Structure 1
Amino acid sequence: MLNKHLLAFVLLACGGLAQASEVVDVYRDPNCGCCKQWIAHLRDNGFTVNDHVEPNMSAVKQRLGVAPRLASCHTAVIDGKFVEGHVPAEQVRLLAQRDDLVGVAVPGMPIGSPGMEMGARKDAYQVIGLTREGRDTVVAEY
């Protein structure tokens, strides 16, 4: 039987391993304020964010395979998969469990999505997953 100190050490070590996969690289235009708010949303939800100011976002999106129909203002990468736009942190976290997806996106900039809060107004929006076959699939609706 494990003593309580060894058990605490094991739990802390496992928790540290889980956090290691929650590092997100965010690429954003230097003049975009909502991107900074989305980064704050990720950090508030336990992610470690590497913030990359990028003068040519079109090139970043093309390199990562973000189709124009899925485009928004910023692009992130977590565990080799893209996250486009104002995707809620819970969906970023769930992306790791979806081997069928190469990324997720919230196209455009819907009001009320993380980083796009403007009072009580909230537009309905979808989180779209891009499959390995290049098909769109709705993974969540808000």
Structure 2
Amino acid sequence: MRRLVLLTTLLTGLAQAAEPPSIDVHRDANCGCCKAWISHLQANGFQVNDHVETDMSAVKTRLGVPHSLGSCHTGVIDGKFVEGHVPAADILKLRQRPDLLGAAVPGMPMGSPGMEMNGRQDAYQVIGLGRNGQQQVLADYPGK
């Protein structure tokens, strides 16, 4: 009986590990780059729950996104905000950071996921917001 319980626990853990990460994305109905970012997430194994909103400012306020870190869409994963065009790999890293409330790519930098247009790539950073209110650079992407 004990072996059966251990085997069941092991198999359940493996099944959970294989499940794709799920993220809620809040966006305006008419935003094309938001849809492109969602495609980026899906292409990188995320299950996206798409929420079309009429008042994104209210969503950002409710989720604690500072105005200085604002962008067009806001995701939520594991209770943390993901603001703007954050690359999927950096979202996975955010999940491992209990000291952070969220991460953001402020503005809409060309070349970031969902903003790939005309081959242009601006430099941008992924900024983390700590539980203490301090901001820190989590990733630095150079321009081309």
Find the counterpart in structure 2 of residue 49 from structure 1: 48
The 1:19–1:38 alpha-carbon spacing in structure 2 relative to 1, beyond 3 Å, is: farther
* Conserved? CA contact 1:19–1:47, under 8 Å: no
| Partner residue, 1:26 | 25
TM-score scaled by structure 2? 0.88
SS in 1 for 2:26: strand
1:88 deviation in Å? 0.1
Matched residue type, 1:103: G
Distance 2:118 2:14 in 1: 35
Structure 1: unaligned runs, 5 residues or longer: 1-5
Structure 1 segments of 4+ aligned residues over 6 angstroms from their partners:
none
Backbone CA RMSD of aligned residues: 1.6
Correspondence for 1:137: 136
Structure 1 counterpart of 2:4: none
Task: Tell me which amino acid in the other structure corresponds to 1:77.
Answer: V
Amino acid at match of 1:132: R
Percent identity (aligned): 64
1:1-142 to 2 correspondence within 5 Å?
Answer: 10=11, 13-20=12-19, 22-142=21-141
2:32 corresponds to which letter in structure 1? G
Q: Does the Cα contact within 8 Å between 2:20 and 2:45 map onto a contact in 1?
A: no
Aligned-partner Cα distance in 2 for 1:47–1:19? 12
Work out the CA distance in 2 between the residues paired with 1:15 and 1:36.
Answer: 31
Tell me, in whole angstroms, the C-alpha distance in 2 between the residues paired with 1:52 and 1:120. 29
- Give the partner amino acid of 2:29: P
* 8 Å contact kept, 2:87–2:113: yes
Question: Where do 5+ consecutive residues of structure 2 fail to align?
Answer: 1-6
Aligned residues: 133
TM-score calculated relative to the size of structure 1 = 0.89
